[in-house]
Amino acid sequence: MLSVILPAYNEEKMIRKASDVIDRILSSEGIAYEIVFVNDGSKDRTWEEIEQAARENSHVTGVLFSRNFGKEAAMLAGLASASGDCCAVMDCDLQHPPETLVEMYRLWEQGYEVIEGVKRTRGKESAVHRASAGIFYRIISKAVKIDMSRASDFKLLDRKAVDALLSMPERNVFFRALSSWIGFRTTSVEFDVQERTEGESKWSTWSLVQYAVKNIVSFSTVPMQCVTVAGVFVFLLAVVLGIQSLVKYFSGHAVEGFTTVILLILMIGSIIMISLGIIGYYIAKIYEEVKGRPRYLISKKIGGTTMKR
């Protein structure tokens, strides 16, 4: 059986559409399936819609979060409550075309364990967005050592891969990269990002910046090593300037150079503060991990006859 996991945050208009389309496509292909909606603390009627869909279609199940925990948490909760032999994760705004699910499923039948959806085109985006996404993915690709520039959260995972992902103890999960990091027999399927038909994207520029920083930190310690590199540069500068000052002192021209002093204090001061900030961020993340709070809290589960766990 294939479990399709759909994280949903304020998607009241899409629940019905998504379950209908997926139902139609998978039924006509004769693929046994269940649909797991995870309501990530929506403020609209999303949960009522999920309940309604579950009443009408026994393949539909729902998980209700106690508040908004974010998409990564919602995807993991969906995977945890899915009982399929393979699980697909996709956006419930149908920007990931459900037709591709069939293609992915066929590849799974051929023995692939991780089938990644890669974006052929990125859909409509502003130039700034595209450029910053480019920088972000270059850094992340270096950290994971896999090309992530066209990666998405649209994936189909074998039960083995799902269990591997769920056994990761870390709180701060970057699903897109972690599902590549686990390895297994991997292949990819290209798809075109569709236009959103209803509702709006939940991402503001600021939330994307936070997302980028959080995920770079969760996968790489390079920012902290930059601190050391900056320290080495400042030290070299100090040696050169130190020698120059001593030469000036001994040759009797030591009074000038107040501007240099001010500049040096400003420069070194700011490097130290930025460095402390970077280290502080890592410490904050360690603190979060050490607290070991659950990634999400579930207040309710509903679901069809296929629900086993």
Helices (H), the chain: 12-28, 46-56, 71-81, 99-109, 127-144, 159-166, 175-181, 205-219, 222-250, 258-291
Choose, by CB under 6 A, the member of 95, 100, 179, 215 that binds ligand UDP.
95
Q: Are 62 and 302 in contact (CB under 8 A)?
A: yes
- 72 part of the interface to ligand UDP, by CB under 6 A: no
Question: What are the two backbone dihedrals, phi and then psi, of residue 117, each rounded to the nearest 5 degrees?
Answer: -85, 125
- The smaller minimum CB distance to Mg ion, of residues 117 and 303, is found at 117
Least distance CB 76 / ligand UDP (angstroms)? 11
- The smaller minimum CB distance to Mg ion, of residues 201 and 251, is found at 201
Q: Are 24 and 57 in contact (CB under 8 A)?
A: no
Choose, by CB under 5 A, the member of 3, 10, 95, 179 that binds Mg ion.
95
- 93 part of the interface to Mg ion, by CB under 5 A: yes
- The smaller minimum CB distance to ligand UDP, of residues 59 and 71, is found at 71
Question: What are the two backbone dihedrals, phi and then psi, of residue 111, each rounded to the nearest 5 degrees?
Answer: 110, 0
Q: Which stretch binds ligand UDP (CB under 6 A): 86-94, 102-110, 127-135, 178-186?
A: 86-94
- The smaller minimum CB distance to ligand UDP, of residues 45 and 202, is found at 202
Q: What is each CA distance from 279 to 138, 199, 276, in whole angstroms?
A: 22, 39, 5
Neighbours of 250 (CB within 10 A): 9
- The smaller minimum CB distance to Mg ion, of residues 51 and 93, is found at 93
- 154 part of the interface to ligand UDP, by CB under 6 A: no
Choose, by CB under 6 A, the member of 76, 89, 92, 178 that binds ligand UDP.
92
Choose, by CB under 6 A, the member of 2, 9, 189, 218 that binds ligand UDP.
9
Binding residues with ligand UDP: total (CB under 6 A)? 16
Choose, by CB under 6 A, the member of 2, 74, 164, 178 that binds ligand UDP.
74
Scanning residues 181 to 210, which ones bind ligand UDP (CB under 6 A)? 201-203
DSSP annotation of 59: T
Q: What is each CA distance from 160 to 36, 78, 193, in whole angstroms?
A: 19, 16, 28
Q: Are 13 and 48 in contact (CB under 8 A)?
A: no
- 100 part of the interface to ligand UDP, by CB under 6 A: no
Question: 205-219 and 222-250 helices cross at what angle (nearest 10)?
Answer: 90
d(CA 221, CA 100): 36
Least distance CB 61 / ligand UDP (angstroms)? 16
d(CA 52, CA 9): 17
Residues in contact with Mg ion by CB under 5 A are: 91, 93, 95
Residues in contact with ligand UDP by CB under 6 A are: 7-9, 11, 40, 68, 70-71, 74, 91-93, 95, 201-203
